[in-house]
C-alpha cells in the first residue's frame, strides 16, 4: 500500500513510525527544507506516553524530557486552588513527560529514518495540489520558498498531518479561512534555573485574562540545571480578531514584566524567570471548529490538521499521537482501507471534537476561572465559596473527556495489534 503522510511534525512522524512497526512503508512529505528543533515545551500526557512506550521510545523520551509528578493551580496571589499527582505519582502506569517539542520531533525523525531509511522523509516537499481519483490520490509538491515543482506522487492513502494551516484540510474545507482567535496571546520562552530551584511540577496561575504557566522540560545531567518552560497568557484583543501567527516570531519581553510584578511564590519568581529567559515567542491562542468529516475517499486527517485546540489541558500533541496510533492500528486490523478509515474516524473525530469545545470553555483551567470569580478578594475563604469536591469534579470530568482517567486508561485496548 502506498501511503503518503503530508507533514513531518510530531503527529506525521508518529504515524509513520506506528505504520512502520506494523509492516507498512509510508513516505512522509515535509515542507521545510531542513529539520530544525523548533518550538518550546509541550507535555505528553500518560495516554500518549503509553503509545510512545509501545513504540519502544520510553527510555529515549525520559532521557530528553522530565517526568512530571504533580500539577498545581493557584490564584494570582499564590493561594493554591487545586493540586494533583501526575504520571506515576498520579496513579498512572505511564509517566507524564514534559519535553522540548523540537527535541521530541528530532527523536521521532531519527526513529522513522532508522525504521524506514533516510528517504522515507522527503524534506522540501510542500503539498500544493491534491486530486482524488477512484481509490487513489495524486499529490503535487513544490518547494515552498521558490515555488519550484518537486513532482507528483500517487498514493493509495493520504494522511494529512500538516498542522493548523493544513493544505490537506483546506482542500475539503476551502471556505474555512484562518484559525479562530480567543484574543489571548501566549508569550512563551525558556529560562535556565539552578539545580533544585523547582521540582517536577507544573504551575498554572491566574485566570484566562492573565495567566502564568511553567514546568521543567529538561535537566542537565552534568550540573543539574533546569530548563524551565514558561508561558504568559495575556488578553490582548477581542475574541474573533485576526491573529498574527508564527512560531518563530520573537518579541520584546519588557511589556510583560510590569504585568507580573507581584507574581512570586515559593520556588517561582515570575518577573525574574521572564527577565532571565532566552527569546520570547508570541503566539495567539487559536483553534478551529470541529469538522463534520475527516475522511474523503482515500484522504484523511490527523493531529492539528484534524482538531487544532487551545493549549489548555496539555492535549495538543497527546491527542495527535493517539490519532497516529489509532489510524495505524485500524489499517493493520480492518479488512480494507475504507473500513480502516471509517473505524479510525469513528474512534477519534467526536472524541477530539469534545476536547476542542471543552478547551474553549477553559478545560481543567475552569478551576481558576471559578476561583477568580467567586473569590476576587484575597481575604475570601475559598473553601466556603468553592468547595474542594467541586474542584475535584472539574479535574475528573476533564480526564474523562480527554481520555486519561487512570483506571479507564489502564483498561483501554492497546493499539499494538
CB of 398 to ligand FAD, least distance (A): 17
Q: Which is nearer to ligand FAD, 321 or 341 (CB)?
A: 321
CB of 26 to ligand FAD, least distance (A): 14
- Round to whole Å and give the CA distance between 43 and 204: 13
Pairing assessment for the beta strands 137-142 and 149-155 based on DSSP bridges = antiparallel
Q: Which is nearer to ligand FAD, 150 or 399 (CB)?
A: 150
Which positions lie near ligand FAD, rule CB under 6 A?
6-12, 29-32, 38-40, 42, 101, 126-127, 161-163, 167, 247, 303-305, 311, 316-317, 320
CB of 277 to ligand FAD, least distance (A): 13
- Round to whole Å and give the CA distance between 239 and 242: 9
Cβ–Cβ under 8 Å, residues 141 and 151: yes
Q: Which is nearer to ligand FAD, 49 or 382 (CB)?
A: 49
CB of 167 to ligand FAD, least distance (A): 4
Q: Which is nearer to ligand FAD, 6 or 340 (CB)?
A: 6
State the chain's maximal CA–CA distance in angstroms: 68
Q: Which is nearer to ligand FAD, 173 or 265 (CB)?
A: 173
Q: Alpha carbon of 381 to those of 35, 81, 206, 283, 376: distances in Å?
A: 52, 11, 17, 36, 11
Rounded to the nearest 10 degrees, the angle between the axes of helix 10-21 and helix 46-54 is 40
Nearest residue to ligand FAD on Cβ basis: 9
Provide the H-helix boundaries in 137-241: 167-172
CB of 299 to ligand FAD, least distance (A): 13
* Sign for the pseudo-dihedral over CA of 335, 336, 337, 338: negative
Cβ–Cβ under 8 Å, residues 207 and 312: no
CB of 143 to ligand FAD, least distance (A): 11
Q: Which is nearer to ligand FAD, 303 or 313 (CB)?
A: 303
Amino acid at each position: 500500500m502506498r501511503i503518503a503522510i503530508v507533514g513531518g511534525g510530531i503527529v506525521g512522524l508518529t504515524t509513520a513510525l506506528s505504520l512502520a512497526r506494523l509492516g507498512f512503508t509510508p513516505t512522509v512529505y515535509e515542507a521545510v527544507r531542513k529539520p530544525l528543533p523548533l518550538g518550546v515545551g509541550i507535555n505528553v500526557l500518560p495516554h500518549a506516553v503509553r503509545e510512545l512506550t509501545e513504540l519502544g521510545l520510553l527510555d529515549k523520551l525520559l532521557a530528553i524530557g522530565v517526568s512530571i509528578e504533580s500539577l498545581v493551580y493557584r490564584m494570582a496571589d499564590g493561594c493554591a486552588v487545586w493540586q494533583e499527582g501526575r504520571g506515576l505519582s498520579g496513579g498512572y502506569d505511564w509517566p507524564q513527560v514534559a519535553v522540548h517539542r523540537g527535541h521530541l520531533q528530532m527523536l521521532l525523525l531519527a526513529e522513522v529514518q532508522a525504521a524506514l531509511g533516510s528517504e522515507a522523509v522527503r524534506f522540501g516537499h510542500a503539498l500544493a495540489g491534491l486530486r482524488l481519483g477512484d481509490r487513489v490520490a495524486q499529490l503535487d509538491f513544490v518547494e515552498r520558498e521558490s515555488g519550484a515543482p518537486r513532482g507528483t506522487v500517487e498514493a493509495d492513502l493520504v494522511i494529512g498531518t500538516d498542522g493548523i494551516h493544513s493544505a490537506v484540510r483546506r482542500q475539503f474545507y476551502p471556505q474555512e479561512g484562518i484559525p479562530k482567535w480567543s484574543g489571548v496571546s501566549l508569550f512563551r520562552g525558556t529560562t535556565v534555573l539552578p539545580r533544585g530551584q523547582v521540582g517536577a511540577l507544573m504551575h498554572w496561575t491566574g485566570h484566562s485574562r492573565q495567566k502564568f504557566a511553567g514546568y521543567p522540560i529538561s535537566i542537565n545531567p552534568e550540573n543539574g540545571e533546569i530548563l524551565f518552560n514558561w508561558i504568559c497568557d495575556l488578553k490582548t484583543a477581542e475574541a474573533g480578531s485576526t491573529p498574527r501567527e508564527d512560531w518563530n516570531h520573537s518579541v520584546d519581553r519588557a511589556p510583560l514584566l510590569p504585568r507580573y510584578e507581584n507574581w512570586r511564590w515559593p520556588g517561582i519568581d515570575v518577573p525574574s524567570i521572564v527577565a532571565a529567559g532566552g527569546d520570547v515567542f508570541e503566539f495567539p491562542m487559536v483553534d478551529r471548529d470541529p469538522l463534520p468529516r475527516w475522511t474523503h475517499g482515500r484522504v484523511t486527517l490527523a493531529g492539528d490538521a484534524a482538531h487544532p485546540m487551545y493549549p489548555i489541558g496539555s492535549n495538543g500533541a497527546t491527542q495527535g499521537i493517539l490519532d497516529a496510533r489509532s489510524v495505524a492500528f485500524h489499517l493493520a486490523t480492518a479488512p480494507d482501507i475504507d473500513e480502516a478509515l471509517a473505524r479510525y474516524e469513528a474512534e477519534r473525530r467526536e472524541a477530539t471534537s469534545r476536547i476542542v469545545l471543552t478547551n474553549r470553555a477553559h478545560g481543567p483551567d475552569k478551576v481558576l476561572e471559578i476561583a477568580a470569580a467567586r473569590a476576587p478578594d484575597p481575604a475570601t475563604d475559598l473553601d466556603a465559596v468553592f468547595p474542594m469536591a467541586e474542584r475535584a469534579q472539574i479535574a475528573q470530568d476533564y480526564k474523562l473527556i480527554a481520555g486519561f482517567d487512570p483506571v479507564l486508561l489502564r483498561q483501554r485496548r492497546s493499539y499494538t495489534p
